[in-house]
């Protein structure tokens, strides 16, 4: 059996630092367990016998959010500047979603939040907004652990865009330990210097599961001495929070990040809305990413001058994804309700302010449950002969996903065989191509199981048993009772709505 271990003394030291790093992302030590049975009643997938273990890509939407989306249709109208009562009602719900998202991550106000289609576009927004500030000889530092979305934009900036403008800017890549999966902080420090305008780092790897010590990364960026246009002498820090925010208590002010990007479709929203948090003084000074439409101040367009709208609308060009934003804000509220009181929702469908203690408690419960599931799958998989598990071996040092390979077996085929057994895994590079190449994987791929608050220990055991059967040479693992493999695609089958008691959206959410 080959299992990557993470128990070296250096790794232990790094882990201790990581715990300090993520103090504001830590759950209460004695978190109250989730009421998972009640939680699952709000979703439709259990009725199909699905074992959903690809949550790192997208989570499942609760029935309430799907019903809410449908209920908003009859009163739909464009937002801002409309005189109709429908426009004003829709605008109020739309703007309220910004407030909800800001409160969820601890931002001072909605002025620090911009909405895009996904995490990728949010990171690109930072790249394009900072593009003209880069000087010849500058550099960007990121890591080999990143999702492609937090590397390829900087590659494009340094290798394709700025060279055409006559500027030479480097993109530097920090290593990670191939055994422990931990970020090599020493190497990262050696890459940051007085010409480092920006440091980009994942909050949690979507392949290794590693959670880098963000406080130490922040300290390295602060100490660079780079002279920013506003006179600050430090490097900016951008954190890809796509895997961090959905399963952890996150406070952007405590973490002191300059930019944080994450996606609502990874925290229960049924479609793509991405969030960019940025420090308000930076968003005020930066150029917009997109121009036109709602990002223009009312009446402020002249042949020789254009005035931009106030934050956050400066970063909201054109007609936005109105319904997506509203439902994403309510997804945050739904997440809190599921964690705190799934049988008696308190936040969903309301404009009730989200208090920080409630967010901390809710996300602490989610993190504790995810950690329990992750520990269980790590323990189970580690008993399988011929398996390689990537990243830290301690559940408390990683997010709720586990990527692995079976000796001599193609990971894509492994995922296909898992699907035949009713386990919805995912295989490929997971858009973490640099890390797969760094580990010299051929093909650059792995199979991944990822969990969220509605998964159960029994589902973990089923997944582990299916992996064990495949490793033992069974090309057709047993299909668990209750799993449907109909000739008609499952999404065309009539589905009795789950959680019928709560599926109807509150009357408050219907626009006037």
Sign of the four-CA dihedral 247, 249, 255, 261: positive
Say if strands 296-302 and 51-52 run parallel, antiparallel, or are unpaired. unpaired
- Burial group, residue 81, by CB count within 10 angstroms (0-12, 13-18, 19+): exposed
The whole-angstrom separation of Cα 100 and Cα 122 is 18
Give, as one character, the DSSP assignment of residue 193. -
The string of DSSP letters for 287-342 reads PPSS-SGGGEEEEEEETTEEEEPPTTGGG--SS--HHHHHHHHHHHHHHHHHHH-T
Distance of CA 502 to the CA centre of its chain: 26
The whole-angstrom separation of Cα 161 and Cα 176 is 28
What's the angle, vertex CA 16, arms to CA 30 and CA 103, rounded to 5?
55
* C-alpha Rg value of the chain to the nearest Å: 23
Contact 202, 239 (CB under 8 A): yes
Bridge partners (DSSP) of residue 302 are 305
Contact 401, 209 (CB under 8 A): yes
Place of tokens 């580990």: 439
Contact 387, 411 (CB under 8 A): no
Please state the length of the chain: 512
Say if strands 139-143 and 170-174 run parallel, antiparallel, or are unpaired. parallel
Bridge partners (DSSP) of residue 51 are 423
Give, as one character, the DSSP assignment of residue 31. P
In 10 A of CB 102, how many CB atoms?
22
Q: Would you name the residues annotated as active-site residues?
A: 431
């Amino acid at each position: 059996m080959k299992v990557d271990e993470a128990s070296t003394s250096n790794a232990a030291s790094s882990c201790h630092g990581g715990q300090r790093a993520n103090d504001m992302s830590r759950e209460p030590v004695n978190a109250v367990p989730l009421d998972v049975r009640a939680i699952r009643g709000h979703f439709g997938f259990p009725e199909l016998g699905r074992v959903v273990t690809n949550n790192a890509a997208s989570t499942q939407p609760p029935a309430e959010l799907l019903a809410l989306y449908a209920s908003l249709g009859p009163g739909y109208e464009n937002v801002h500047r409309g005189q109709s009562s429908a426009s004003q009602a829709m605008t109020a719900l739309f703007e309220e979603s910004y407030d909800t998202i800001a409160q969820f991550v601890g931002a001072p106000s909605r002025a620090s939040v911009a909405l895009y289609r996904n995490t990728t576009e949010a990171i690109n927004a930072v790249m394009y907004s900072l593009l003209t500030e880069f000087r010849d000889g500058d550099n960007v530092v990121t890591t080999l652990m990143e999702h492609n979305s937090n590397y390829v934009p900087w590659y494009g900036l340094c290798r394709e865009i700025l060279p055409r403008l006559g500027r030479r800017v480097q993109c530097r890549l920090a290593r990670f330990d191939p055994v422990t999966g931990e970020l090599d902080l020493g190497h990262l420090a050696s890459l940051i210097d007085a010409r480092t305008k920006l440091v980009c780092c994942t909050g949690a790897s979507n392949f290794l599961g590693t959670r880098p010590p963000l406080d130490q990364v922040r300290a390295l960026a602060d100490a660079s001495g780079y002279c920013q246009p506003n006179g600050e002498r430090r490097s900016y820090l951008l954190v890809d929070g796509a895997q961090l925010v959905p399963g952890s208590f996150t406070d952007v002010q405590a973490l002191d990040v300059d930019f944080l990007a994450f996606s609502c479709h990874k925290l229960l929203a049924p479609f793509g809305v991405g969030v960019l948090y940025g420090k308000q003084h930076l968003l005020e000074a930066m150029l917009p990413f997109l121009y036109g439409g709602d990002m223009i101040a009312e009446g402020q367009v002249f042949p020789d001058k254009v005035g931009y709208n106030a934050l956050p609308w400066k970063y909201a060009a054109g007609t936005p994804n109105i319904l997506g934003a509203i439902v994403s804000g309510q997804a945050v509220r739904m997440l809190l309700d599921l964690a705190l009181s799934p049988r008696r929702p308190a936040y969903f469908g309301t404009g009730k302010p989200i208090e920080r203690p409630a967010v901390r408690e809710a996300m602490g419960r989610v993190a504790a449950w995810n950690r329990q599931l992750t520990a269980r799958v790590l323990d189970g998989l580690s008993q399988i002969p011929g398996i390689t598990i990537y990243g830290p071996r301690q559940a408390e040092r990683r997010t709720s996903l586990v990527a692995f390979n079976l000796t001599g077996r193609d990971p894509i085929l492994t995922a296909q065989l898992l699907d035949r057994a009713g386990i919805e895994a995912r295989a490929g590079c997971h858009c973490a191509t640099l890390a797969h190449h760094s580990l010299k994987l051929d093909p650059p791929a792995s199979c991944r199981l990822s969990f969220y608050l509605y998964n159960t220990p029994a589902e973990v055991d089923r997944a582990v048993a299916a992996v064990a059967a495949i490793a033992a040479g069974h090309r057709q693992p047993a299909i668990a009772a209750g799993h449907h493999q109909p000739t008609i695609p499952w999404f065309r089958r009539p589905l009795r709505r789950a959680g019928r008691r709560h599926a109807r959206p509150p009357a408050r959410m219907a626009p006037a």
